Copies of this chain bind each other. A is one copy, B any other.
Amino acid sequence: MTDTPPVADLVDQHCHGVLRAELGLATFEAQLSSAASGPAPGTTFFDTQTGFSVRRWCPPLLDLEAHCAPARYLARRRELGVVETTRRLLRATGVATYLVDTGLPGDLTGPAEIASAAGAEAREIVRLEALAEQVADTSGTADTFLVNLAEAVHAASASAVAFTSVAGALHGPARNPRPPGPGEVRTAAGRWLAGREAERRAARSGAGDRRTGCGPPADPVLLGHLLWSAVACGLPLQLHLGTADPMGLAGFAAATAGLGTDLVLLHSYPHHRRAAQLAGAHPHVYADLGPALARTGARADAVLAEALELAPFGKLLFSTGARALPELHVVGARQFREALGRVLGGWVADGAWSRTDAARVAAMIGSGNARRVYRLDC
């Protein structure tokens, strides 16, 4: 750990805003897991690597002992208030630039508020599905929708630093890696708009629940069109893999080679070695380290080391993937620094790497690669 200098000025290449409300124990606990349901009877999400990491890194930042009991931590959090807590925590991350995916629902802070609370910079990542929903809200027909969508994507590409898609990678290009034709896109768009309209009518008449029918676009053709619209703009495109095997994206990676748009694979754990392999096979494919480190706590060093096996060091990008709790920003950043120091420091101590190379690679992964890919210095 003492063998490599710490990375200053991290770029968190994928994160979300934090909640503005004061949180009770149960509300806080629910955010420690990405599961849709609560913990099993007799268990708690505090008993996870994420829970233990929060208890390791955060209490000292609020003047408590590391590993203190959750209830005590939450009491102190409420005592300080959400604004002061958020300020203290974000300022302890060492992140100089936040790239914020603003496409999540819920009352989360936006890039400007994060920048202000953290005393750092923040830029926006536009989520394609959320953009499509906004455009649909003001478009009558499929043709209008498609024209407006093209304009919205183009406009977003002027201010945002990247696009992201949470469903596209799983359902779009995995089925067909080529751009869908205009006819099938119009049909798919029409079907989705009609579903939304039916839903809205049902909601107005009280006959149905707004959540039962449509939601964000899920049709493979429509998702494929969203991805290819983003590819046409040239901004980097971040693709959530969820639990899917990154090899499902091999066809899309091949089809987008040489077009000038970089693909960044998010959420590849436990397939991070495959994501790293794919990043080594294609010049325009990059691999995110985010949640794989932030969520695995004491094991982050082992997971990082696996990602470093086949990925060229210029193709790995730090992120926290944090959302809702500033604690998750702290955990993501601390785990990354700690893991990077241990892994690279160990290799330097063994003589496998030179100290100079280790420091250089640490800076690349922590910020340099992201600055280049997202053109942050332009």
> Is there a chain B Cβ closer than 8 Å to A63's Cβ?
no
Please name the residue on chain B nearest to A32 by beta carbon: B312
> Is there a chain B Cβ closer than 8 Å to A210's Cβ?
no
> Is there a chain B Cβ closer than 8 Å to A22's Cβ?
no
Contact A308 B49 (CB under 8 A): yes
Q: Which one of A134-142, A158-166, A352-360 is at the interface?
A: A352-360
Please name the residue on chain B nearest to A346 by beta carbon: B298
Cα of A258 to Cα of B42 in the assembled complex, Å: 15
- Cβ contacts under 8 Å, A67 to chain B: 353-354, 356-357
- Cβ contacts under 8 Å, A53 to chain B: 352
Please name the residue on chain B nearest to A273 by beta carbon: B270
Given A37-B257, A40-B314, A296-B310, decide whether A66 and B280 contact each other with a Cβ distance below 8 A: no
Please name the residue on chain B nearest to A35 by beta carbon: B281
Contact B277 A40 (CB under 8 A): no
- Cβ contacts under 8 Å, A47 to chain B: 312-314, 361, 364
> Is there a chain B Cβ closer than 8 Å to A148's Cβ?
no
Contact flags (1/0) for A301-325 with B, using CB distance below 8 Å? 0110110111111110000000000
| Copies of this chain held together in the complex | 3
Cα of A274 to Cα of B268 in the assembled complex, Å: 12
Please name the residue on chain B nearest to A285 by beta carbon: B40
Q: Distance in Å from the Cβ of A51 to the closest Cβ of chain B? A: 9
- With an 8 Å Cβ cutoff, the count of chain A residues facing the other chain is 64
Contact A37 B283 (CB under 8 A): yes
Contact B42 A314 (CB under 8 A): yes
Contact B314 A309 (CB under 8 A): no
Please name the residue on chain B nearest to A36 by beta carbon: B281
Contact flags (1/0) for A229-256 with B, using CB distance below 8 Å? 0000000000000010001001000000
Checking B40, B274, B352 against A52 with a beta-carbon cut-off of 8 angstroms, the contacting residue is: B352
Residue with the greatest number of chain B CB neighbours at <10 A, chosen from A42, A247, A311: A42
Checking B39, B250, B357, B364 against A312 with a beta-carbon cut-off of 8 angstroms, the contacting residue is: B39
> Is there a chain B Cβ closer than 8 Å to A347's Cβ?
yes
> Is there a chain B Cβ closer than 8 Å to A157's Cβ?
no
> Is there a chain B Cβ closer than 8 Å to A116's Cβ?
no
Cα of A305 to Cα of B301 in the assembled complex, Å: 12
Contact flags (1/0) for A355-372 with B, using CB distance below 8 Å? 011000100100000001
- Cβ contacts under 8 Å, A45 to chain B: 312
- Cβ contacts under 8 Å, A52 to chain B: 352-353, 357
- Cβ contacts under 8 Å, A186 to chain B: none
> Is there a chain B Cβ closer than 8 Å to A196's Cβ?
no
Please name the residue on chain B nearest to A45 by beta carbon: B312
- Cβ contacts under 8 Å, A312 to chain B: 33, 39-40, 43, 45, 47-48
What are 30 A-B pairs at a CB distance below 8 A? A34-B281, A38-B283, A40-B315, A42-B314, A42-B372, A43-B313, A45-B312, A47-B314, A48-B311, A48-B312, A49-B309, A49-B310, A52-B352, A52-B353, A55-B354, A66-B351, A67-B356, A243-B250, A243-B274, A269-B310, A270-B273, A270-B274, A270-B277, A295-B309, A295-B310, A296-B310, A298-B347, A299-B308, A302-B306, A303-B309
